[in-house]
Structure 1
Amino acid sequence: MYIAIGDGVTLEDENNFGEFHVAVDGDVAAAVAALGGRAHPSERDNHLWMDIALVRELAGEAADTAWEERFEAMLAFAADHGWIDDAGNRVEAHIQAPPSRG
């Protein structure tokens, strides 16, 4: 799954729990600005800390019980790799360019 930043902010490929990133034309600063306080720069280049609650909000109706169980498993995997902040409120995501829409 990934958070797409363009004309708005959406969660795309929401049932793909094997990857997580932010797709934006720009850098970390552009993503942070677009997300209005719901993300912060990471200490690592080209990464940011995403508000986990925002991911759930963006999932909308897709976030049923089964989705939530799989999302929690994804977050547990992220925690095992140090990709969850100390407070447990943010998950680290890398920035990449949006997919081409050829």
Structure 2
Amino acid sequence: MFIAVADTITLEDANNFREFHVAIDGDVAAAVAAFRDRSAASERANHLWIDIAFVRDLAGDAADAEWQAQFEGMLAYANSKGWIDEPANRVEAHIQPPG
């Protein structure tokens, strides 16, 4: 799955739990600002910390019980790699630049 940032912010390929990134169409700084308080800068270049509840919100009706279980599995894997900030409830995502 990935978060697409263009005129709006949407969750795409929501049932792909094997990857997670942010795809930005346009200026990266402006797109990151669109997240407001739902993201934070990472200490690693080209990465953002994304609010986990925001990802669930973006999933909307797709977030049924099966989706939630698979999403939790994805988060458990991310946690094993150090890509979860538990106190802030955020998951780290690579920024895929335009082009």
Q: For the superposition of Structure 1 and Structure 2, which TM-score range results when normalised by the shorter chain?
A: over 0.9
Deviation at 1:37, TM superposition (A): 1.2
**Pairs within 5 Å for 1:14-29:** 14-24=14-24, 25-27=26-28, 29=29
Equivalent residue pairs, number: 98
* Alignment partner of 1:34 is 2:46: no
**Structure 1 residues not aligned, in runs of 5+:** none
Distance in 1 of aligned mates of 2:2 and 2:8: 13
TM-score, normalising length from structure 1?
0.89
Tell me, yes or no, if structure 1 residue 83 matches structure 2 residue 83: yes
State the Cα deviation string for residues 8-34 of structure 1 (Å, max 9, x = none): 01000000000000000333x333301
Question: Residue in 2 aligned with 1:13?
Answer: 13
Segments of 4+ moved more than 2 angstroms: 29-32
TM-score by length of 2: 0.92
Could you tell me how far 1:88 is from its partner in structure 2? 5.5
Partner residue of 1:72?
72
Letter in 1 for 2:3: I
Higher helix proportion (structure 1 or 2): 2
Query: Do the aligned partners of 1:32 and 1:38 also contact (CA within 8 Å) in 2?
Result: no
Partner of 1:95: 95
Cα root mean square deviation, aligned: 1.4
Residue 48 of structure 2: SS of its match in structure 1? Answer: strand
Q: Contact 2:6/2:31 (CA < 8 Å) preserved in 1?
A: no
